[in-house]
Amino acid sequence: MDVIVLQLFNGFSVSSILLLIALGLAITFGLMKVINMAHGELIMIGAYSAYVVQNLFLSYMPSSMFNWYFIAAIPFSFIVAFLIGLLLEATLIRFLYGRPLDSLLATWGIGLMLQQLARTIFGAPNVGVTSPSWLNGGMTIMGDVVLPYKRLFIIALVCLCLVAMYVYIYRSHSGRRMRAVMQNREMAACLGISTRRVDAMTFAIGSGIAGIAGCALTLMGPIGPSIGTYYIVDAFMVVVLGGVGKLIGTVFGALGIGLSNTVFEYWTTASLGKVLVFLCIVAFLQWKPMGLVAMRSRSLD
């Protein structure tokens, strides 16, 4: 019983990280049809932003304040990644709308350069970020099952991001403009929406969420220039499995991959578990080629 609860919790924990990464992708890929392979590097930027904030707190703030650096790091990571996303959109992505495969290659090149840049600035070895002391330890339930606070915090953070995204996309004016542009660009433009501004904003928000994901990853272990590449393909699989265009699909996609990954890895070995998950995804796509939740459309392509 204990083992089952622990595995279930681990599954949710993995899912929450996948979801946080995939949320940003769901926006850029799902809504804009841009394959942003540099998403992993935006995560890396977010992680290094947290590292920088930590170092700033260490050198300029009284040590009693140090524990609260993480609260400052989250918005800071978001803003840094947001601005870089804005820059990226203005200089490169805008030329690639409607060419998803080309956007994949170009952003992969960008990712390569960003990785190399990080290696130049921060050095190739991994750096550690000290988690605030109030996240150490864990909650004990059912006698001897320990749920680490760090993982609980990440799950809470993901829920918060999800709610914020939901409110922004479905309940705000700019979110409505965003959905309008993604559903029918020409018509939205005719009605007076500045599609350029909406595109830039959408991409930047997707990037900003990647920054938050990077910040959260610093809690899980040391960070390095290639931290994003570990997660990026899994996150893309979440979007493919979940279907594009709706947030709820991404949530279920992340839960599906995260939980099945944990279960299969528990049953078999880590490497065989991954193979089984992949086979399951391909099998699932036989049944629903467009993913779990697909936007209904009469257009053929």
Partner 1 sequence: MHKRLMSRQRLWLLAGYAAAATALFCAPLFLSDFRLNLLAKFLAFAIVALGLDLIWGYTGILSLGHGVFFGLGGYAMAMYLKLEASGGRLPDFMDWSGLSALPWFWKPFSSFGFAFAAGILLPALLALVLGYFTFRNRIKGVYFTILTQALVIITVTLFIGQQAFTGGTNGITGYGKLFGQSLASPDTKQMLYWVTVIALIAAYALCRFLVKSRFGKVLRAIRDGENRVRFIGYNPAIYQMVAFSISAGLAGLAGMLFVLHVGIISPSMMGIVPSIEMVLWVAIGGRGTLIGAALGAILLNSAKSVFSESYPDAWLFFMGLLFVIVVVFLPKGAAGLLGQFKWLRRRRAKHGEGDGVHYPAV
Q: Which is nearer to partner 1, 29 or 78 (CB)?
A: 29
Which residues are bridge partners to 148 per DSSP? 138
Q: In angstroms, give the least distance from the CB of 246 to partner 1.
A: 16
The span of 44-52, 63-71, 211-219, 283-291 binding partner 1 (CB under 8 A) equals 283-291
Q: Residues binding partner 1: what is the number (CB under 8 A)?
A: 45
Phi, psi of 75 (to 5 degrees): -65, -35
Binding mask 234-273 for partner 1 (x = CB under 8 A): --xx--x----------------------------xxxx-
Query: Is position 18 an interface residue for partner 1 (rule: CB under 8 A)?
Result: no
- 106-135 mask for partner 1 (x: CB under 8 A)? x-xxxxxx-xx--xx---------------
105 interacts with partner 1 by CB under 8 A: yes
Q: How many Å is the Cα radius of gyration of the chain?
A: 20
CA atoms within 13 A on the CB side of 100: 8
Among 35, 43, 188, 201, indicate the residue that binds partner 1 (CB under 8 A).
35
Q: Which residues pair with 99 in a beta bridge?
A: none
Among 59, 64, 133, 286, binds partner 1 (CB under 8 A): 286
Region from 157-165, 188-196, 206-214, 282-290 binding partner 1, contact rule CB under 8 A:
282-290
275 scored as a contact of partner 1 (CB under 8 A): yes
Cβ atoms of 245 and 291 closer than 8 Å: no
Q: Which residue type is seen at 196?
A: R
CA angle (165, 168, 169) in 5-degree steps: 85
For residue 125, the Cα-to-chain-centroid distance in whole angstroms is 23
- Continuous H helices in 123-148: none
Contact indicator for 155, 17 with CB cutoff of 8 Å: no
Alpha carbon distances (Å) from 292 to 35, 236, 253, 265: 19, 14, 7, 23
User: Which of these segments, 64-72, 105-113, 132-140, 142-150, binds partner 1 (CB under 8 A)?
Assistant: 105-113
- Write down the residue that tokens 């990647």 correspond to: 210
Which residues make Cβ contacts (< 8 Å) with residue 184, sequence separation at least 6? none
Minimum distance of partner 1 from residue 101's CB (angstroms): 5
Nearer to partner 1, 237 or 293 (CB): 237
Nearer to partner 1, 145 or 263 (CB): 263
* Binding track, positions 57-96, relative to partner 1; x by CB under 8 A: -----------------------------------x--xx
232 vs 238: CA distance, rounded Å: 10
The nearest distance, CB 289 to partner 1, in angstroms, is 4
Q: Which residues contact 111 (CB under 8 A, 6 or more apart)?
A: 37, 38, 40, 41, 228, 229
Shortest Å, Cβ 14 to partner 1: 15
Tell me how crowded residue 282 is: count the other CB atoms within 10 A of its CB.
9
- Which residue's CB is nearer to partner 1, number 108 or number 153? 108
How far apart are alpha carbons 174 and 168 in whole angstroms? 7
Binding site for partner 1 (CB under 8 A): 29, 33, 35, 92, 95-96, 98-106, 108-113, 115-116, 119-120, 229, 233, 236-237, 240, 269-272, 274-275, 278, 281-283, 285-286, 289, 300-301
